[in-house]
Structure 1
Amino acid sequence: MADTKTGNRFESPGQGSRTASRDGAGESRRPKVEPASRGRTTISDGVVEKIAGLAARDVPGVHALGSGMARTFGAMRDRVPGGSSSAARGVSAEVGELQTALDLEIVVEYGVAITDLARSVRENVISAVERMAGLEVVEVNIAVSDVKLPDEQDEESEGSSGSGGRSRLQ
């Protein structure tokens, strides 16, 4: 379809009209759409889970995330070549278009006030998710699944404290 030329004005069917300036750039008469609103951004559950997991681990008094079984399997996966530790272990997220809800399962250090710790975890997780993902956090449910006693050995370090099939140098 050819453009019709009338003075300094160019028109293309179905494209609106443009007015040519001296430098050749045209100005559209259609309302301008902000570049940020051209398209859609989708954030997966896993991304929100990782953000929340890292934010929860940053709070002093949180020993680990996940139930004992999840931590045990995670520790084994960490030792497998090519396996990676999961920042989202112990975190479950349900993500909508504008909002998210989170469930966390944590292990606390012995001696920590659990209600104060839960409040701090909730605040840190909400702040991180809202800042990074731009989603409104409608709820953060926290389940305390265990207390890490001072004399308990970590499940994650039990396998590494023995010889583990490696010879020790003497």
Structure 2
Amino acid sequence: MADTALPESVLGEPGERGTLTIRDRVAQKLVLEATRGTPGVRQHAGGMDKLTGRELPRARVLVSGRRVRAKVDIAIEWPGSLSVIGTAVRDNVRAQLESVSGLDVDGVDVSIVSVLPASTNGDAGRKVQ
């Protein structure tokens, strides 16, 4: 099999090839995807939250150059372990940001703002109201 990579003489020096900018909104979507994929985290919107768009989970991120910091608010299902789920969210978010965006993660703060009753088979996957 022939090597199809272009020689460095054609591409130029690595530092002179261009830049990649990851915007806050992109990083926020990565954080939310990782959070929703964590076992024990529930999507939730109740009362005025439905109208204001403040459903859970929600995330705020700050990207500065190659560094990122995230704050995530989540709802969990009772009787989930707050520390286990919080740690899993933090680890998943960090891994997602580092592997997909290549950013250096300075920190991920996780706040559990709601504990919801256990779901039954009939309401699994639905938003709790």
- Report the TM range for the smaller structure's normalisation: 0.7 to 0.9
Normalized per residue, which structure has more helix? 2
Within the candidate set 41, 50, 54, 1:72 is matched to 50
Relative to structure 1, the CA distance from residue 112 to residue 33 in structure 2 (aligned partners, 3 Å threshold; closer, same or farther) is same
Greater Rg by CA: 1
- Aligned counterpart, 1:98: 66
Question: CA offsets, 1:33-52, max 9 Å, x none?
Answer: 13x74111111001001001
- The alpha carbon displacement at 1:64 in A equals 2.1
- 1:143 Cα offset (Å): 1.0
Amino acid at match of 2:50: T
Q: Any gaps of 5 or more consecutive residues in structure 1?
A: 1-27, 76-85, 159-170
Q: Aligned-pair distance for 1:135? A: 0.5
Q: Secondary structure at the match of 1:147?
A: strand
Distance in 2 separating the partners of 1:127 and 1:135: 10
Give the share of equivalent positions with the same residue, in percent: 24
Among residues 73, 83, 86, which one is paired with 1:115 in the alignment? 83
Aligned length: 115
Corresponding residue for residue 6 of structure 2: none
TM-score (norm. length: structure 1)? 0.58
- State which of 7, 13, 19 in structure 2 corresponds to 1:33: 13
Gaps of 5+ in 2: 1-8
For residues 48 and 60 of structure 2, the distance between their equivalents in structure 1, rounded to whole angstroms, comes to 13
Q: Using CA pairs below 8 Å that are at least 6 residues apart, which structure has the higher relative contact order? A: 2
Provide runs of 4+ in structure 1 moved above 2 Å.
67-71, 150-158
Cα distance in structure 2, aligned partners of 1:103 and 1:61: 18
Residues 1:45 and 2:24 aligned together: yes
Show the 5 A alignment for 1:7-22: none
Distance 1:107 1:131 in 2: 25
Relative to structure 1, the CA distance from residue 157 to residue 62 in structure 2 (aligned partners, 3 Å threshold; closer, same or farther) is closer
| 3-state SS in 1 of match to 2:18 | coil
